[in-house]
Amino acid sequence: MAEKKRLTLDFDPKAYEILSNLSAESGKTLAGVIRSAVALYAITQEEEKKHNRLAVVDAEGRPLKEIIIT
Protein backbone atom coordinates (compact mmCIF):
# COMPACT_ATOMS: atom_id res chain seq x y z
CA MET A 1 0.00 0.00 0.00
CA ALA A 2 1.29 3.44 -0.91
CA GLU A 3 2.30 5.82 1.83
CA LYS A 4 -0.55 8.13 2.80
CA LYS A 5 -0.11 11.88 2.45
CA ARG A 6 -1.46 14.34 5.01
CA LEU A 7 -3.34 17.40 3.81
CA THR A 8 -4.76 20.40 5.66
CA LEU A 9 -7.85 22.02 4.13
CA ASP A 10 -9.84 25.14 4.97
CA PHE A 11 -13.60 25.10 4.38
CA ASP A 12 -16.06 27.94 4.65
CA PRO A 13 -18.82 27.24 7.21
CA LYS A 14 -21.43 26.18 4.62
CA ALA A 15 -19.07 23.77 2.84
CA TYR A 16 -18.03 22.29 6.20
CA GLU A 17 -21.68 21.85 7.17
CA ILE A 18 -22.36 19.99 3.91
CA LEU A 19 -19.26 17.84 4.43
CA SER A 20 -20.27 17.05 8.01
CA ASN A 21 -23.83 16.16 6.97
CA LEU A 22 -22.56 13.87 4.20
CA SER A 23 -20.26 12.21 6.70
CA ALA A 24 -23.06 11.63 9.20
CA GLU A 25 -25.53 10.39 6.57
CA SER A 26 -23.06 8.01 4.93
CA GLY A 27 -21.26 6.78 8.02
CA LYS A 28 -17.95 7.75 6.40
CA THR A 29 -15.28 9.87 8.00
CA LEU A 30 -14.76 13.39 6.72
CA ALA A 31 -11.68 12.10 4.91
CA GLY A 32 -13.72 9.25 3.45
CA VAL A 33 -16.27 11.68 2.03
CA ILE A 34 -13.48 13.76 0.49
CA ARG A 35 -11.87 10.62 -0.99
CA SER A 36 -15.21 9.68 -2.57
CA ALA A 37 -15.61 13.20 -3.95
CA VAL A 38 -12.12 13.10 -5.48
CA ALA A 39 -12.87 9.72 -7.07
CA LEU A 40 -16.11 11.06 -8.56
CA TYR A 41 -14.33 14.17 -9.83
CA ALA A 42 -11.68 11.99 -11.49
CA ILE A 43 -14.44 10.08 -13.31
CA THR A 44 -16.03 13.33 -14.52
CA GLN A 45 -12.70 14.56 -15.87
CA GLU A 46 -11.97 11.25 -17.60
CA GLU A 47 -15.38 11.19 -19.28
CA GLU A 48 -15.17 14.86 -20.26
CA LYS A 49 -11.93 14.12 -22.14
CA LYS A 50 -13.87 11.49 -24.14
CA HIS A 51 -16.64 14.05 -24.82
CA ASN A 52 -19.09 11.97 -22.77
CA ARG A 53 -21.67 13.34 -20.35
CA LEU A 54 -22.63 12.10 -16.90
CA ALA A 55 -26.20 11.92 -15.68
CA VAL A 56 -28.41 10.72 -12.87
CA VAL A 57 -30.92 8.28 -14.36
CA ASP A 58 -34.07 6.69 -13.00
CA ALA A 59 -34.68 2.94 -12.71
CA GLU A 60 -35.62 2.76 -16.40
CA GLY A 61 -32.47 4.58 -17.49
CA ARG A 62 -34.18 7.89 -18.27
CA PRO A 63 -31.92 10.86 -17.49
CA LEU A 64 -33.13 13.02 -14.61
CA LYS A 65 -30.17 15.37 -14.20
CA GLU A 66 -26.95 16.00 -16.05
CA ILE A 67 -23.88 16.25 -13.83
CA ILE A 68 -21.72 19.20 -14.81
CA ILE A 69 -18.58 19.99 -12.84
CA THR A 70 -16.61 23.04 -13.91
Please list the pLDDT of the chain residue by residue as tens digits (70 residues): 789 899 999 999 999 999 999 999 999 999 999 999 999 999 999 999 999 999 999 999 999 999 888 7
Domain count, the chain: 1
- The three state secondary structure string of the chain is CCCCCCCCCCCCHHHHHHHHHHHHHHCCCHHHHHHHHHHHHHHHHHHHHCCCCEEEECCCCCEEEEECCC
Whether residue 3 is contained in a domain is answered as no
Domain of 59? 31-70
| Residue 26 within a domain | no
Position 37 scores a pLDDT of 96
Would you say residue 38 lies in a domain? yes
Q: pTM of the full predicted structure?
A: 0.82
Return d(Cα 25, Cα 10) in angstroms, integer: 22
CA distance 7 to 20: 17
**Residue 13 within a domain:** no
